Amino acid sequence: MSIKKCKGDAMFSSYDSATDACRELLACLLNAPQRGAGGVAAESRLRRPFREELNTAFVLSNPRKRISQSLQLYPATARVIWMMAANNRLSDIKFHVPQVGNFTDDELTVPGSSYGMRLRQPQPGLDQIEGAIKRLKAETDSRRAAVTIFQPVDAIRESNDIPCAFGILFHNRDKFLETTVIMRSNNACALLPFNLFEFSLLAEVVAVEAGLELGPITYFAGSMHLYESDIERAKGLLAESVDTPFAMEQMPCDKSPLKALKRLAQADVKLREASTSLNITMVNEIIADVENDFGPYWSLFAKILACGVAASRDFQTFSSLIQLIDPNLKRFLPKMSQNVADINIAQIGGLFGRDVSSNVVVPIRRNNLMKRFAEHAVNYEAESGQAIGAAVLLRAQDLVFERFAARGDDDVLSYDAFRRALDGQS
């Protein structure tokens, strides 16, 4: 089988890792023709110029090498847990991924990108994933283990969020699960790394539940594209030296992955509820609850989630948690500004007009600052129509906290100050 891809060549490429696939596609798209000067009014993002290859397909031969070079592991983990909980509530995922707020129609739900709701509860009592697993167990060589994400109404409804994923096919062949992911549209720079991570994990969940070995994943995108606003980011990624792709451990088969993911969804609720008064004892209890029942494979996801929550809220908790993470994964996790760390652990005398331990006052003002920073980031992306790169966002955060450290009594961050920080000005 061959599918036309990259400069019109007929090819059906196979990649050992998500990093290899993402880099090859970005390199290909940099040479693709520019499009996107018009479009239907409701599809405003189409008016942003982009480069595109139609009918792009490839095989990910080792799906456990799902962590690509540019993946942000904390929001990726949050997305998977949210997805597998059949959740479409905006507030639950916006807590971890504020940019999702740009895609709601009612400020309550995520209408299109809530793949889990569409897969696991499109109607009360209907779970397509459970249905596919039952069919894979019952019928070797079945061609009917298919699940759909795109719905007929999506073809005509007006919305800020039409699902990019179309559906997934599962095949039990020689006791291996072969998975085919079909995407209507795919942003190669911003979203492909997340999609490869979440769909390869979903495939392994299905494989384990069906008693199969994890086989390759075939990935097809009707439109694989790169926005002009992401060109420099793509070039920067291609210019980076790349470490040997990291392969996640094999998912254990002695415990139900679906039950483990349900427990992780409960852990997520506890972490969000505790976020305003986070401490390492509380977080360790949440992690232990997962590990005691489901083992270290699944508790790793709880640790990643907790690291992400703590990174912008409590340095002591974050610094304790990060020591529990595999060194190969640390580079994919958020980092806390050293300025915040210095303030958070110091005893500050007179900074706020009285002697006070920083673990009382500083976290409160730091949290206020982080909330304003996140709000400004979401507003900026909505206004500009483009995502802020992780490196730019981290640099801006450092500049903002340098200012906070220098003027410890000031936790006000104006939108203009946020814009200056994005431009690299203190």
Q: Catalytic residue at 307? A: no
Q: Packing angle between helix 315-322 and helix 296-311, nearest 10 degrees? A: 150
With DSSP H G I counted as helix, E B as strand and the rest as coil, what are the percentages for the chain, rounded to 5? 50, 15, 35
Q: Which residues contact 283 (CB under 8 A, 6 or more apart)?
A: 271, 274, 306, 310, 317, 321
- Are residues 373 and 413 in contact, defined by beta-carbon separation less than 8 angstroms? yes
Q: How far is CA 363 from CA 279, 360, 369, in A?
A: 12, 6, 10
| E-state strands within 174-212 | 176-187
Q: What is the end-to-end Cα distance of the chain in Å, rounded? A: 55
Cα distance between residue 21 and residue 200, in whole Å: 13
List the one residue out of 343, 389, 378, 335 whose CA is nearest residue 362.
Answer: 343
Catalytic residue among 6, 164, 189, 307: 164
Which residue is listed with tokens 């709880």?
A: 302
Query: Residue 296 in 3-state DSSP?
Result: helix
List the one residue out of 269, 330, 290, 322 whose CA is nearest residue 78.
Answer: 269
Query: Which tokens go with 387?
Result: 């995502």
DSSP lists the bridge partners of residue 179 as: 170, 217
DSSP lists the bridge partners of residue 168 as: 147, 181
Label the pairing between strands 50-60 and 13-15: parallel
- Residue numbers annotated as active site: 164
